[in-house]
Structure 1
Amino acid sequence: MSKVLVIYYSSFGHIETMAKAVAEGARGVSGTQVDVCRVAELVPDDIAERSGYKRDQDAPQLDDPNALVDYDAIIIGTPTRYGNMASQMRNFWDKTGGIWAQGKLVGKVGSAFTSTASQHGGQETTLTSIHTMLFHLGMVVVGVPYSCQALSELNEVSGGTPYGATTIAGGDASRQPSDNELTIARFQGQHVAELTSKLAS
């Protein structure tokens, strides 16, 4: 049995939707336990409410980074903020110094997915910056290979990169993840779970 954690932050629900698709893909791999958690919101309640943040998210909040040690794979989902991860997710990972110093995540599988407002709004730089962090933690970084046919879709505007699944939210956050983007997210979850199962055994 291998254990996969999908940990995410979502302001408007796009990454929450992607996280569920990633988890669905991972759960399809026999012998895989999948947990989905979110990190804490840092925006004050009144501002989050005025900004239209999605507050009713099912996933439990994970506050203690020591819980990461219990998993064989960790898949991170976060919206892009100026080509990097959101501060809510950064805040969580900045607390992992203790487990980094002890090498507690060395050899575990790491992967990432993201969303942006525009088609080229920093999706790849966000994912590769997360990869850099995962390398520092000693993790085995996994993306989305081109055996995922949905990466090559040219008949519609779509997120999706070899570095990880992505979605485009639109400037007003009204666009929801497309079927093609969710297909890539499910593929990523399955791919991570399959590789994790091989490594864990």
Structure 2
Amino acid sequence: MAQELFFLTYPVVSNDNVSSVNFIKDFILPLVPSLITIIGWYVIANLERSKIRDNRQEVKELKAKDLFERRLFQILEKIDDLHLLSKEYYKHSGSDPFVLEYDHVIPIKFKQLNHLINRAFCPESVSSLTPVLTKAYIDFKRVITGGDFASKRREVYKLDHSKYSDISKYYMNLYLEIEKFLP
């Protein structure tokens, strides 16, 4: 009797179902947390890589803007130098030995200014060179180095001469055109 009760209280399961239940329970279910963890780390790693890529791009953009800004300030300084040099230059006659140095320095400063402008507005730059800026540069250079520049026969220009007002006018035009690119 005791044996009969034992069989009545516990149902017997066939061997086919037991092996399939044991395979899922013994092999698949223990792997699920690990698989979820691996998939989670993969997703997080991809998100981090994309953040790093975005940060690198932002850093490059900030460096480019900073470099552009520094170049603009260098250009503005060079324009100021040329403005002051040219006014001092035209206060002396062309035969004055003081002016001989300026005959060489001013064109060199213009070459430096041209180089700085070309570097600041190169194709990889934040901004591109505009026709208005180009015209302002040419006008500024023409008013200073045009006419009787480097001429031995040039007389002293008095302070009320129109040459000084032209220099100041074109200086201010170029200065303001450059300054438009500053934030």
Q: Same fold (TM over 0.5)?
A: no
TM-score (norm 1): 0.28
More helix by share: 2
TM-score (norm 2): 0.30
Rg (Cα) greater in structure: 2
